[in-house]
Amino acid sequence: MNRGLLLVISGPSGAGKGTVCDAYKNKCGQRVWNSVSMTTRAPREGEVNGKDYYFVSREEFEQRIQDNKFLEYAEFVGHYYGTPLDKVEEQLAFGNEVVLEIEVQGALQVREKMSQAIFVFIAPPSMEALYERLLSRGTESKELILERLEKAKREIKLAYMYDYIVVNDEVHNAADKIMAIVRAEHAKTERAIFGYNKLMEVE
Amino acid sequence: MNRGLLLVISGPSGAGKGTVCDAYKNKCGQRVWNSVSMTTRAPREGEVNGKDYYFVSREEFEQRIQDNKFLEYAEFVGHYYGTPLDKVEEQLAFGNEVVLEIEVQGALQVREKMSQAIFVFIAPPSMEALYERLLSRGTESKELILERLEKAKREIKLAYMYDYIVVNDEVHNAADKIMAIVRAEHAKTERAIFGYNKLMEVE
């Protein structure tokens, strides 16, 4: 069986990568496997272990870091968040498509560990749109908003490190583009040649 | 303006590349520019110079070969056929997508001259299907059919030299795959980064 495809959907805060990723997964249905993150923060009301997150202790998380068991991880305001490597590997070995929606820094860590993954950068349609989206999150302090803005500005300059750039002008359009990218990637000769040679009885 | 994209659709005789290419162009409409070949054979009833072919003399064709004015050319049963380089270059410079439907040998010549073109190999769904298609061309002699079969067998082994392999299981499906490939190619970072940097005001 062919190894599955790892799709990394990433981009700056405010580009709408979460919405685009959800729209993409909705279009694909059961065909894609959604990676569940591991975290050291406490579960919130209604969150289910193994579905929303894997909730573990700080000690366990740090042990897993030492054992190289994360595809990527980061610390945000005192809590660890990471993508367990074994679960992703398992799904890829089954031939399933795995979608990771992660921050830019995390994506660059994945690039180092799994260079054969496909890296899609979700870009906002303009700087104005990005500002608007970041500023409209009304519940946050001005300080936090400014911090996010600075982070987004840094992240925007890293698009060149990705395989594809998808501008999120409209969510369904961006999701369609990702579908086209995945379809094209499956047709790439390096992936399609084995099945083709078998089909055509080429030695 | 961005330079246009050169799409080379090729594959063995009997794979149905002509049908797939027509279906693809129908789906795209006016967006793609169809390359017109040059030939030394005489025009047939109803064929229009500059539309079906550019009809030229053997002397003119050979002069153009010497002047390196073909993207690719070949000789079949005493007549030359080739793709004029200047017309293709002109359309690419306008930012248009150019589609070339050509034989495998021609495609490999294009690869040498324009490595940035996108090479799609149209494969038959099986060897049986290929045999059937080649044998069902009832108007041809047994000798000619066997010759085509041998040619197809040689060409089938060259799929690995292409960027993408598209199996022609159903024509509309194969044409959709080519659309996905072109869409993905436009989103590739190496092509999308210039527009993106402008959009995001990245220096």
Q: What is the mean pLDDT of residues A80-108?
A: 93
Is pLDDT of B171 > 70?
yes
ipTM over cut 0.85: yes
Give the confidence band of A76 by pLDDT, cuts at 50, 70, 90: confident
- In this complex, do A165 and B196 lie within 8 Å of one another by their Cβ atoms? yes
- For B74, B84, B139, B154, the CA distances from B147, given in Å and listed in that order, are 17, 28, 15, 11
One-letter amino acid for residue A64 of the chain: R
Rounded to whole angstroms, how far apart are CA atoms B81 and B53?
Answer: 9
Q: What is the pLDDT of residue B137?
A: 67
Scanning the structure block, which residue is given the tokens 């490597």? A85
User: Is residue A123 within 8 Å of residue A167, measured between CB atoms?
Assistant: yes
Rounded to whole angstroms, how far apart are CA atoms B172 and A179?
Answer: 17
State CA A9 to chain mean position distance: 4
Q: What is the mean pLDDT of residues B156-175?
A: 96
Nearest CB to B165: which of A157, A164, A196? A196
- In this complex, do B183 and A188 lie within 8 Å of one another by their Cβ atoms? no
Is pLDDT of A185 > 90?
yes
Reported as a single tens digit per residue, the pLDDT across B62-109 is 999 999 999 999 998 899 999 999 999 999 999 999 999 999 999 999
HSE-up (13 A, CA, CB side) for residue A61: 21
Q: What is the pLDDT of residue B145?
A: 82
Nearest CB to B183: which of A123, A180, A188? A180
- For A57, A90, A121, A154, B192, the CA distances from A5, given in Å and listed in that order, are 31, 12, 17, 28, 23
Of A4-8, B20-24, B129-133, B188-192, which range is least confident? B129-133
User: Is residue A42 within 8 Å of residue A126, measured between CB atoms?
Assistant: no
Q: What is the pLDDT of residue A131?
A: 84
Q: What is the pLDDT of residue A74?
A: 92
- A189 interaction partners in chain B (CB closer than 8 Å): 121, 159-160, 162-165
CB crowding B136-161: b at 16 or more within 10 Å, else e: eeeeeeeeebeebbebbeebbebbee
User: Is residue A199 within 8 Å of residue B123, measured between CB atoms?
Assistant: yes
Reported as a single tens digit per residue, the pLDDT across A123-156 is 999 888 888 888 876 667 888 888 888 888 899 9
Q: What mean pLDDT is reported for chain A?
A: 91
Q: How far is A193 from chain B (nearest CA, A)?
A: 7
Is pLDDT of B139 > 90?
no
Query: pTM here?
Result: 0.90
Nearest CA in chain B to A127: B200
- In this complex, do B196 and A125 lie within 8 Å of one another by their Cβ atoms? no
Nearest CB to A126: which of B126, B185, B199? B199
Give the confidence band of B29 by pLDDT, cuts at 50, 70, 90: confident
Task: Report H helices in A2-57.
Answer: 17-28
Q: What mean pLDDT is reported for chain B?
A: 91
Q: What is the pLDDT of residue A55?
A: 97
Of A68-72, A151-155, B70-74, B188-192, which range is least confident? A151-155
- In this complex, do A123 and B196 lie within 8 Å of one another by their Cβ atoms? yes
Q: What is the pLDDT of residue A148?
A: 83
Q: What is the pLDDT of residue A77?
A: 82
